[in-house]
Every structure is written in structure tokens, then in C-alpha cells.
Structure 1
Amino acid sequence: MTVSAHVLDGVQGGPLSGVGVRLDRLGPDGAWEPVVEGATDGGGRLGWFEAGGLIAGTYRWVFATGDFYARQDVACFHPEVPVVFAVEDPAQKYHVPLLLSPFSYTTYRGY
């Protein structure tokens, strides 16, 4: 099982390193519970790899875009980008690329 994220620069092209990212799981009480947290590496990637660690349910990656752009002294519209997704089969790979610019973003399920 793997869960990973990849942040790509929609203006300059290429990866964005140093973007804070957190993976949360929706708990049975309806509250988000943190699973793992870190920052994208030099290739714009962050991954969580653990056999048996993922269970079916609802998850979200939360990208700290406001903090990232503030360090660049760049204004941005979205201070954070939450991407909520469903895990139906924990044996599958769940990869979430984020194409990011200061005023827009897009995402999809990658493989």
C-alpha cells in the first residue's frame, strides 16, 4: 500500500519542494485525525508507505500553500488546499498530484 502526493509548479513547470503536507483520516466520530505530516522533497514528492497501515475510508491531503508562497514573498489566493479522497481498496496505490500556482490548482488521481 502506498499513499503519495506530488506538487508541481503550474507557472514555471517542474516540482515544488518544501510545501508542507499533512494526510488526515476521517474518524468514526466525524473528526479528522492526522496520519502523517511532512514537506515535499526536491522532486516535489511526499509519500507514506506502510503495509497494512491504510484502511478503507475517507482521507485528505492538506497542502500548506499559503505558508509556502509566503516564504517566497508571493501572494496567493488559497492559503491551503485540502484534497479529500476515498480509499475503497487499501491494497491499491493512492497517488495525488497537485498542479499549483498562486491563484489556482488542479488535482487528479495518479498512478
Structure 2
Amino acid sequence: MSKSPSLSSHVLDTTLGKPAANMQLILTTPNGDITRAQTDADGRCNQWGELAFSAGHHQLRFVTGEYLSDQHGSAFYPFVDVHFEITQDGGHYHIPLLISPFGFSSYRGS
């Protein structure tokens, strides 16, 4: 029996060397539904309400501008969009984001 897909994220501020707490995340599903969430004190997010993940292309927007401005005084990137594909039997998806005031990086984590 296959397990339905799930999603988590972790945001780290590489300049400060700490988690990015209280950052807003906006997830857009393949059918256009939008769900909002927020990172916890450890920079993690896996609370998507009652959303049942389906196969297809998703967009995860990290609202970085407010966090970076608060922590560093400016933000070159007001947000970072990560587009990814969930497959029907894809299991768990983890989308980490490493940020600084002038750069970012993401990859598929575990």
C-alpha cells in the first residue's frame, strides 16, 4: 500500500547561522488552491492544515523580505519561489531553503 505524499520545509539563515523563525510560506497546488503556513522557532514547517497532497507541479513561496529586513536591515529577494513536482507514490518531500540577504539555495532534502 502506498503512502500519500507529505511535505515539510526547513529555513536556515546562513549569515546568522540559525533557523529562520516565523517566516510565512505560501503553497500553491496544481489546481490553484493556496495554503499558508509559518516556520516555527526551529525554522521548520510541516503544518499544512487539512491539505491532501496530489500529484503534479506545486509552488512553495518563501516570504523572505520581511524576515531578512528585520534580521539584516535589507532584503534583495522579497520572496523565493521553489517549483517542484510531487508524484503519486513520491512519499515525503522536504524542501530546505538556505538564505542570506543577497543569496539563497534550495534542494530536495530527506
Q: TM-score, normalised by structure 2?
A: 0.85
* From 26, 29, 43, the counterpart of 1:25: 29
2:18 is aligned to 14
Displacement of 1:39 in angstroms is 1.2
Q: Structure 1 residues 75 and 88, CA, compared in 2 at 3 Å: closer, same or farther?
A: same
Let me know the Cα RMSD of the aligned residues: 2.1
Aligned length: 106
Q: Which amino acid aligns with 1:33?
A: D
CA distance in 1, matches of 2:39, 2:10: 7
Matched, 1:2 2:6: yes
CA distance in 2, matches of 1:89, 1:20: 27
Q: Secondary structure at the match of 1:72?
A: helix
Displacement of 1:52 in angstroms is 8.5
Q: TM-score, normalised by structure 1?
A: 0.84
Which is worse superposed, 91-100 or 44-53? 44-53
2:60 is aligned to 61
What residue ranges of structure 1 are gaps of 5+ in the alignment? Answer: none
Greater strand content: 1
Displacement of 1:71 in angstroms is 3.2
CA contact (8 A) 1:20 1:63 kept: yes
Q: Secondary structure at the match of 2:18?
A: coil
1:110 is aligned to 109
What residue ranges of structure 2 are gaps of 5+ in the alignment? Answer: none
Q: Which amino acid aligns with 1:82?
A: D
